Chains A and B, each alone.
Chain A
Amino acid sequence: MTDPILESVSLSKRFGNFVAVDDVSFSVPEGSFFSILGPSGCGKTTIMRMIAGFLEPTSGDILIRGRSILDVPPNKRPVNMVFQHLALFPMMNIEGNIGYGLRRKGMEKAEIAARVGEVLERIGLPGIGKRKVDELSGGQKQRVAIARCMVMEPDVLLLDEPLGALDLKLREHMKIELKQLQSDFGTTFIYITHDQSEALVMSDQIAVMNQGRFEQIGSGRDLYYRPGTAFVAGFVGEANRWRGKVTRAQGGGLQLTTEAGLVITGADHGRGLRVGEEAEIFVRPEAIRIGHAVSDVAHFSNQMSGSVGSLLFNGAASRAMLRPAGGGDEIEVALPQSGEFSALKRGDEVHIGWEAEQANAFAYDPTAAAATAKASGTGGT
């Protein structure tokens, strides 16, 4: 692992009584793609604006290559930013936009032209220098905005939800392209988004942020399979959740009894839940196996029967909503698209089961529960 290129040390920002960013520390290794993922209003934009220099932290420090940049004005910082709505200068052509920073450095005209040509080549848009900003498509503007920063050869490139304004299809395409550009240029990217799939697809590391704090930093895989907090479990990916009391706990495995009397086994992965504590269990729809016969799921530590309440067809991501025989909320289950369940219809009896290992248990935290409920409304999938 290389030395971190950017470090944030106990960074905080208060606006009056409101704490937008609360004691956030992280470090970003050189050349990596680092995302900050969180619902809107969680403070991620504030962090980005502090790094860019448009906001002063209330306390804490930001270091680049080990040196504090707090005293450096925004126009002298070795970071560049791709703005949410790109902020391309409409009164200049593409060349003018990309060459803007170089002109500020006082570089010679010929040199600027050469650099601009080169970077246009690299983003795959050679020869568009004379065009106007509004003659470009959404995806082209995106690339130009990145090129405008990359030509400055920044230590760190900040990206503030740059895909937000694009339509779905283009967004999917740009995700792949951004990752490609990042590895081509080898520059450190810090990317903020509320869209988990953007973060999961592109990032080497993701920080999940909620209410001014970092909940967890890790790879997409970590966050998905080993969420560190109830918020992360609820915010990243989809999950069925049950709330209840811990009725047995031993060696990482535990048993939860819901108010309706449902008994579920799960794992706390070292979080040390004790008997009698109130807890929540999260189980991903794709961690649940579905079968026509009881024997199909007999080997799972959790088993249940129920009838199909509704079918949500969505290609590879199709789901069945099951009504448990014992009552309680509907359970969302991933439907394998191997043909086995193509004839499934409403009202059919099925059996489901999952491993205790796949059921993540957390101590119940009402504030986090409220936050996820709110976030999943805006978070997208």
Chain B
Amino acid sequence: MIPSIRQPRAFRIAYRAYVALFFLYLALPLTVVAVFAFNNSQFPSLPWKGFTLEWFFGDSRPMIGVFHERPILRALGNSGFIAVFVSALSVVVGTTNAFLFNRYEFRFKGLFYVLMLLPLVIPGIVLGISILVFSSTVANGVWDGIGYDIEALRPGLTLVILGQFSFITTIVTLVIAARLQKFDRTLEEAALNLGANRMTAVRTVTIPYLAPALIGGFVVAFLMSFENFNTTLMLVGSDAPLTIAMFDRLKEGSTPLLNAVSLLLMLGSTTLALVMVLFQRKS
């Protein structure tokens, strides 16, 4: 089974074929999405009508490319805006959480830890509706009470950010806590011993040590936010992020424009992921 144990030749060949087939299964949908971005046709399907870059750069009907399609660009901007906020927030809270669970003993610590993990096992759509329900309860209460409408608590960017933040924080906490666990605390003592106060010791020694996890957590949060669909779907207002905008278009029927956007997304996230892997390897 493992290389040191011989298996019949036929078995080995069959096994390898299976693994190859598996990767074909993984690659196929993405490949067709990418390839049809260059099809000179109104539909992302065969027959192949020749190569074109119009779906990226075209500026006249019927082939308006990604870079001239206002709604898509605006949705992309929304997604980026949301993702930056969500990542920054969840890295901050993830860091405080990691320190809290690593450094302090307190009552009901175990319970809080399980609570902290819970967002991972709540379906995204349920997270979305619970936040939607609660925020409208609050907004309606305020409206009934003082007659002021809190715009931020109605479906829109703020709620999308809060909704994504609510479960991405758990993942970021786990990423940062894993590295903090490996931190040798005598390093902090050494810093104190050399004249640093507690805050300075954390800032100059612990945080630099955590840096790969902080950056990794940020990138993971960014990608998850960018991709998120379920929670966002329930909380979205008029400023739709990219996944929702693409979903609306897809329901109406697809054009290679969507392939072009998808290809750019693939390139973007793969680059981001590769940069992260390289960074992690370096440190």
Are chains A and B touching in the complex at the 8 Å CB cutoff?
A: yes
Residues from chain A with a CB closer than 8 A to the CB of B195 are 75-76, 101, 104-105, 152
Q: Check: A91 CB closer than 8 A to any chain B CB.
A: yes
CB-based contact A89/B190 at 8 Å: yes
* A–B Cβ pairs within 8 angstroms, 26 of them: A52-B189, A52-B193, A74-B193, A75-B192, A75-B195, A75-B201, A80-B193, A80-B194, A83-B189, A83-B190, A85-B184, A87-B186, A87-B187, A87-B190, A88-B190, A89-B191, A89-B205, A91-B211, A100-B191, A100-B196, A101-B195, A104-B194, A104-B195, A148-B194, A149-B194, A152-B195
Q: Is B209 an interface residue (CB 8 A)?
A: yes
A74 touches B204 (CB 8 A): no
Chain B residue at minimal CB-CB distance from A106: B195
Would B189 and A87 count as touching, CB distance under 8 A? yes
Q: How far is the CB of A45 from chain B (nearest CB, A)?
A: 12
Are A54 and B189 neighbours in the complex by a CB distance under 8 Å?
A: yes
The CA-CA distance from A90 to B212 in the complex, in Å, is: 13
- Smallest Cβ distance from B208 to chain A, in angstroms? 4
Within the complex, the shortest CB–CB distance from B267 to chain A, in Å, comes to 32
B189-224: which have CB < 8 Å to A? 189-197, 200-201, 204-205, 208-209, 211
Contact pick for B200, options A74, A76, A104, CB 8 Å: A104
Q: How large is the interface on A (under 10, 10 to 19, 20 to 34, 35 or more residues)?
A: 20 to 34
Bound Cα distance from A89 to B196, whole angstroms: 13
Residue of B nearest to A151 (CB): B194
B208 neighbours in A (Cβ, 8 Å):
91-92
Chain A contacts for B205, CB-based, 8 A: 89, 91
List the B residue with the shortest CB-CB distance to A80.
B193
Cβ of B92 to closest chain A Cβ, rounded Å: 21
Distance between B48 CB and nearest chain A CB, rounded to angstroms: 53
- Quick one: closest B residue to A90, CB to CB? B209
- Nearest CB to that of B283 among chain A residues? A91
Give Cα A79 to B195, complex, Å: 10
Q: Is A20 an interface residue (CB 8 A)?
A: no
Tell me the bound Cα distance from A152 to B196 in angstroms: 12
**Provided the pairs A54-B189, A85-B184 are in contact, do residues A101 and B209 lie with their beta carbons within 8 angstroms?**
no
Q: Is A42 an interface residue (CB 8 A)?
A: no
Give bound CA distance, A91 to B191, whole Å.
13
Chain A residues, Cβ within 8 Å of B197: 73, 75
Q: Does A297 sit within 8 A of B, measured CB to CB?
A: no
Shortest CB-to-CB span from A52 to chain B, Å, is: 6
How many B residues are at the interface, by size bracket? 10 to 19
Interface residues of A (CB under 8 A from B): 52-54, 73-76, 79-81, 83-85, 87-92, 100-101, 104-105, 148-149, 152
Q: Find the B residue at minimum CB distance from A54.
A: B189
Cβ of B194 and Cβ of A152 under 8 Å apart?
yes
User: A85-B184, A89-B205 given as contacts; is B189 within 8 A of A101 (CB)?
Assistant: no
Instruction: Identify which of A74, A90, A92, A148 gathers the most chain B CB atoms within 10 Å of its CB.
Output: A74
- Cα distance, A152 to B190, chains bound together (Å): 13
Q: Given A87-B184, A89-B205, are A81 and B200 neighbors across the interface (CB < 8 Å)?
A: no
The 9 closest A-B pairs by CB, nearest first: A101-B194, A87-B190, A104-B195, A91-B208, A87-B186, A74-B192, A75-B192, A81-B193, A101-B195
Given the known inter-chain contacts A87-B184, A87-B186, A87-B187, please indicate yes or no for A75 contacting B209, CB distance below 8 A. no
Shortest Cβ distance from residue B181 to the other chain A in the assembled complex, whole angstroms:
16
The CA-CA distance from A366 to B46 in the complex, in Å, is 94
CB distance from A331 to the nearest CB of B (A): 45
Given A85-B184, A89-B187: A100 in contact with B209 (beta carbons within 8 A): no
Cα distance, A92 to B206, chains bound together (Å): 12
Q: A75-B201, A89-B187, A149-B194 are in contact. List 10 more A-B contacts (CB 8 A).
A: A52-B189, A75-B192, A75-B194, A79-B193, A81-B189, A85-B184, A87-B190, A100-B204, A104-B196, A149-B193
Q: Name the A residues within 8 Å of B192 (CB-CB).
A: 53-54, 73-75
Cα–Cα, bound, A52→B192 (Å): 9
Bound CA–CA A155/B262 (angstroms): 66
Which residue of A has the minimal Cβ distance to B205? A89
Hey, which chain A residues are within 8 Å of B190, CB to CB? Answer: 81, 83, 87-89
A92 to B207, CA, bound (A): 12
B119 to chain A, nearest CB (A): 31
Q: CA separation between A79 and B200, bound complex, in Å?
A: 19
Residues in B whose Cβ lies below 8 Å from that of A149: 193-194
Q: Which residues of B contact A88 (CB under 8 A)?
A: 190
Q: In the bound complex, how far is the Cα of B186 from the Cα of A76, in angstroms?
A: 17
- Chain B residue, CB-CB nearest to A98: B194
Q: How far is the CA of A92 from the CA of B201 in the complex (A)?
A: 13
Q: Which interface residue of B186, B193, B195, B197 has the most chain A CB atoms within 10 A?
A: B193
A106 CB to closest chain B CB (Å) equals 10
Contacts of A92 in B (CB 8 A): 208
The CA-CA distance from A148 to B195 in the complex, in Å, is 12
- The docked-state distance in angstroms from the alpha carbon of A73 to that of B191 is 13
Instruction: Please name the residue on chain A nearest to B194 by beta carbon.
Output: A101
With a cutoff of 8 Å between Cβ atoms, the chain B residues found around residue A100 in the complex are 191, 194, 196, 204
Chain B residue nearest to A100 in the complex (CB): B194
Q: Return A140 CB to nearest CB of chain B, in Å.
A: 17
**A159: min CB distance to chain B, Å:** 12
